[in-house]
Structure 1
């Protein structure tokens, strides 16, 4: 199934399929050329938004981080100029350093979507007895969240709101009630799969709510009345093996797929374009058209770019 990136469905019912291209999964593309190829193929399969990580390790500057993203994005934009793609958070001692590359990419005209992780969460695995152990605390204080929101507002980026736990959504709702949530926001419900975000070798403790119909309805009850667009994903699991994928489409939501999420040794092998095509097939079964990259700014209400550049407006 090929979806042109120059057209538009014009439908407010269109499904946004986001492809998160890489993470723990060893099958995911790593080097810039592989990321570019997977990105183009995923767009042609029906993805409207892309997200990727980079493979730099050790001490790096924000300029080096931004350049590593651009090594994949320059050829991608040359081939698919309507692409909407955004990076992940960097590693730095403070929130300003972690987001410095985002500012550089935005000011270069490469971004229309920003990143807000509005909470903190434990990510890890189990020991031989099945007891949660090790892992990391992914920490975002309220002041960190304020910085992330302010950066999106300043740079006129629509915030991608990662919801790992219900408390993350409550923080978002506080910003919404205050009238301070930046324009173009999209709420992304990240349900915890059996292998968790880190794709451990054995099933273990996960995070947040499980990918069930009841869990999705609980989130939607919290979100009710806001009018905010939303999507579903299963981190460390198979979205299409759960009831939330179809239910989300039936209830007006969108789908977040890709090898960042689809990670864990017990899962079936798949590629990013294959997962996107599965999302497209399911949307067709439910009777909803696919959004193209050109549809997304209107569907999400993305602000006009402050720094027009390679993406244009």
Structure 2
């Protein structure tokens, strides 16, 4: 599919502090400025974390509205979506989505169809002995799919491990996948801001051509669109990003995911993604085209 326009998503901040990268936008004003620059440069999807992701409900929705609305005013076709709330129950974790979708033309939600350990390496080379697990029970996964269906949101799915993809494909095969679904293949990089030889998040498949081929083979005759991201690494290390474009995929970049020797801005990463698309001979999707490619509900 070399002629298919490439959807470029930028994940602006996540938990990346300015102490790690001074370009990381962690205020409302910086989020707006960064998003507009990236959209001007070719991004069509923007993912953000609100300044305080422990706040849910109406107050949590207002945090997103504060930067979503001015971004939308400049780029009305742009696809903007939030992260979950740090809560105990699935209802708490998603409590901002309904009020946000009432107040704003939200088009994309989130469903991570599996659970895993996200382990940093210690200085002795062993995974740090934490007790935290990124848990998404089958019941919680079903809840989030149902919520996306009810609110008219395309479910964006983070595929951290091959088992996540098997679950997503089962939902699709059962005819239960909400409209507008989008797979993100997350590859575990081998970089860290903490020092040489360390890894910030040890998980999943490495960012290699053969690892991507595993996911593409698993897709079989699935029609779900997909992108790749390198988490805890530089997306341009190796050639997995180029291989993804050659195989018909899309790209996610941004300071939420990045780790490495450089201190790039989100704009720089988007511009590098645009240049890679040009070198492969694929055009970059406008936000309007991205919505059509993903078949988002609204």
Question: Do both share a fold (TM > 0.5)?
Answer: yes
Query: Equivalents in 2 of 1:273, 1:63: separation in Å?
Result: 31
Equivalent residue pairs, number: 289
Q: Indicate conservation of the 8 Å contact 1:237/1:267, yes or no.
A: no
Q: Indicate conservation of the 8 Å contact 2:56/2:92, yes or no.
A: no
Q: Give the Å deviation of 1:213.
A: 0.5
Q: TM-score, normalised by structure 1?
A: 0.88
Match of 2:85 among 74, 83, 90: 90
Residue number in structure 1 paired with 2:136:
140
Greater shift, 153-162 or 202-211, is seen at 202-211
Query: Equivalents in 2 of 1:244, 1:16: separation in Å?
Result: 16
Q: Indicate conservation of the 8 Å contact 2:3/2:281, yes or no.
A: no
- For 2:236, what is the secondary structure of its paired residue? helix
Match of 1:166 among 162, 165, 176: 162
Query: Equivalents in 2 of 1:144, 1:195: separation in Å?
Result: 31
CA deviation digits over 1:134-167, x for unaligned, max 9? 3421100000100010011111111101000111
Q: Give the Å deviation of 1:125.
A: 1.6
Change (3 A) 1:189 1:226: same
Residue number in structure 1 paired with 2:123:
128
Are positions 1:236 and 2:232 aligned together? yes
CA deviation digits over 1:147-191, x for unaligned, max 9? 010011111111101000111111101101101011111110000
Which stretches of structure 1, 4 residues or longer, exceed 6 Å deviation after superposition? none
1:292-307 correspondence runs (5 A): 292-304=286-298
Q: Indicate conservation of the 8 Å contact 1:159/1:186, yes or no.
A: yes
- For 1:279, what is the secondary structure of its paired residue? helix
Are positions 1:65 and 2:56 aligned together? no
Query: Equivalents in 2 of 1:242, 1:18: separation in Å?
Result: 20
Q: Indicate conservation of the 8 Å contact 1:193/1:211, yes or no.
A: yes
Query: Equivalents in 1 of 2:224, 2:238: separation in Å?
Result: 23
Query: Equivalents in 2 of 1:36, 1:134: separation in Å?
Result: 37
Query: Equivalents in 2 of 1:195, 1:240: separation in Å?
Result: 12
CA deviation digits over 1:89-134, x for unaligned, max 9? 1111101110111122112233101100111111122333211123
Residue number in structure 1 paired with 2:12:
21
Are positions 1:113 and 2:104 aligned together? no
Change (3 A) 1:125 1:177: same
Query: Equivalents in 2 of 1:20, 1:254: separation in Å?
Result: 14
Residue number in structure 1 paired with 2:271:
277
- For 2:119, what is the secondary structure of its paired residue? strand
Residue number in structure 2 paired with 1:56:
52
Q: Indicate conservation of the 8 Å contact 1:195/1:206, yes or no.
A: no
Q: Give the Å deviation of 1:56.
A: 1.2
Are positions 1:215 and 2:193 aligned together? no
Q: Indicate conservation of the 8 Å contact 1:106/1:155, yes or no.
A: yes
Greater shift, 36-45 or 205-214, is seen at 205-214
Q: Which runs of 5+ in 2 are unaligned?
A: none
Q: Give the Å deviation of 1:201.
A: 5.1
CA deviation digits over 1:248-303, x for unaligned, max 9? 1011100000101113xx43110101100111011011111110111112101111
Q: Give the Å deviation of 1:242.
A: 2.3
Q: Which runs of 5+ in 1 are unaligned?
A: 1-10, 305-313
Match of 1:180 among 167, 176, 179: 176
Report the aligned-residue RMSD. 1.7
